Structure 1
Amino acid sequence: MAELTAELARSRAAREAEQQQRLQADDRLSVLLEVLPAAVILVDGRGRIDRFNPAAEALFEGLGWGRRWQEVREDNLLSQWGESDWLLRNRRRLSVSSRALNDGGEILLLVDVTAQRELEERAARQDRLADMGEMAAQLAHQIRTPLATALLYGGQLGRDDLDPAQRRQFAATLVEGLKHTERLVSDMLAFSRGGHFQPNSVSLREVVVEAVDSLGPRLADEEITLKLHLDNASECQVLGNRDALRGVLCNLLDNALYHAGERGHLQVSLEVSEGDRVRLRVEDDGPGIPPDIRERIFDPFFTTRERGTGLGLAVAQAVVLAHGGDIGLCDSALGGACFRIELPRLDAAETGETA
């Protein structure tokens, strides 16, 4: 009997000690939750809020024990990017992580990153302003020369001693300078708008045919041989802006024509590539692009053409990137330059009417 009594006493003492340890652990957890700067919410297996800390209470209106977490979340959430980036109705930005628990519930850690995101956006805005300032300075520099030429010849037109032939020559030079300035401004606008468009289903095959047709007279005048490879091109549908993509292709063809010269050879190929992508290649048999300038060809205002604006390839890159694709140089079978564009292919199930 004495041994049984002692055993019961030891068992009771062990249970009390275990309970005391649990209470102490619960106490420490409560203190930890109180002082944590991040919000913590514990959701039980029924989807109801079991515990939360003051930081969570400050972020979520209506947060309370026993409430359904899904309801509280929907009442407070304004928008969401992925699973971990939330914007609340009170304009707080949260970085969210969660971990499943053994009882079917979950614990959520929500970090308020509003100040951090504001700093990032401010820094990005400063970078954009700096880029705009640099671009404006470059544009002013580029415009100054043709504008000065136009002013010079415009002033000469008022002279009484000019014969008709000189007057026509000066007028033509003046108009050419103004046209060059207009091209600079137009390309600059196209560059600034490169990432803004209304997306629609676009047939790249139709874009290629339209671009080539628009250059028909020039191809004939310069006796250019152009080969089209459009195998399986009917499947080359993308989501984007038809006019912007046609402008990219026209620009690449214009460069190819310039470098190929009279009686040159061009090749345009369009195909579905691996990874459910669409690949477009524009090749010429010109001298190619020297290795020492390849890294600069997409820089705004960089050009090797005497009357070039230096914005054509920069605009092309901006448009392609805005379509979720990429553009670059590759080896050409013709021996000259080859520009390769890859774009995400629009799934047949998503394809509606072409834009």
Structure 2
Amino acid sequence: MDLYTKNLIISFLSVLFPLFVWQLFYLLHYNYQFKWVKKWMFAIFPILSIILCMAFPIALMQPLLLDFRRIPLILGTLYGGYKVGFVLLAVMFTNRYLMGGDVFYTSSIILILTTIVASLLSKYYLKKSLKQKVLLNSVLILPSLIFSALFINMSGTNIMEIGIEHWFINVIGMVIATLLTEVILINFDLLHRSLKEKKLDVASHLAASFSHEIGNPLTSTKGFIQLLSDERISIETRNHYLKIAAQELDQAINIIDDYLTFANPAPKNRDKISIVESIQHVIKVLTPAVEGNNVKINTSFVDYNDCFVLGERKKFEQCLIYLLTNRIESMPSGGEINIKLDCDSNSNINITIQDEGIGMTQRQIDQLGEPFFTTKENGTGLGMMVTFSIIKGIGGRIDVESVTGKGNSFYINLPKHGQRALSVG
């Protein structure tokens, strides 16, 4: 590979490389919410391209440099407007002045005129089709190169010998750079729309789910209240209806609390929760469900004196109820649930819940905790969604392992509260 070809490749990459860096920063901004990545930052990348192009010219014909600097100048001006254009022009002039050369002032006139024309066309450029953009960019760069060559030849430097080849390479480079820029902008637009549609989709599903969940107990309450208007029913029946109506309203309130918990999982009041006491309490609460489904719960832990976590006890126990209820329902023919507690670490509490259920696929595991994902026919996914949110809100995490047909293992890791407490049991 001769020196000219090597310099040509390096100079061409100097145009393309900043485009890929621009895309990288933009994707990082969307995925990790880098607030310092602003819209105007895209101007940095044509500046970088200009500097690299001038640092690695295709050919050096004293006092003349042949490079691709016009490509980022024109593209940056057309996409960014006159402000970006004249910033790029200033960078180019400063860099060229520091390099020196007799043709500096001659080429500057053509570059200024090129930037002015691109600035005037900028507001119309973005509305054009891809074909029109490519044609316009080629039309802009070609006259700029030709007039520069003519002026330079008038000054006594003969460039016409390699002029046509240089013009052709610049036009091809402009076409490729334009296509890449358009592809990147299309990807940005699709990403933005996708995120927006995802948010709207989640909001729509959330509204539908909330309406369905809250509608059932309210409809039941309304029905019992209507029955109470019948004067012929006995006092005992009336009291029974009132009791059921009150229970249904409590259920509606609990559903509302669940949604509020998902929206704001951080505990309002941080109390010291005894993990052992909470597990034992939840097992007692679930006794009817356990016995009715031929399930046995085995526990493997002692009454630790310092096994505490900071959070809201009611919400934490609600998590355990959701998890254990799901484990019971995953074993339609019965089975065993094993609960292990490891509180020996100085900083972490580890709870392991294992069942002998039907198990899950890796795809189902990956979707656990997402809004509206459920493995049940009539489920809404609200329980696991709230469970993951509450555990996350107190600084913990849930990991899941499963083998289809053999059962699931849920590993809950919680931050341990440092103060010692009285013995429980």
The structure whose residues are more often helix, as a share, is: 2
TM-score by length of 2: 0.42
The structure whose residues are more often strand, as a share, is: 1
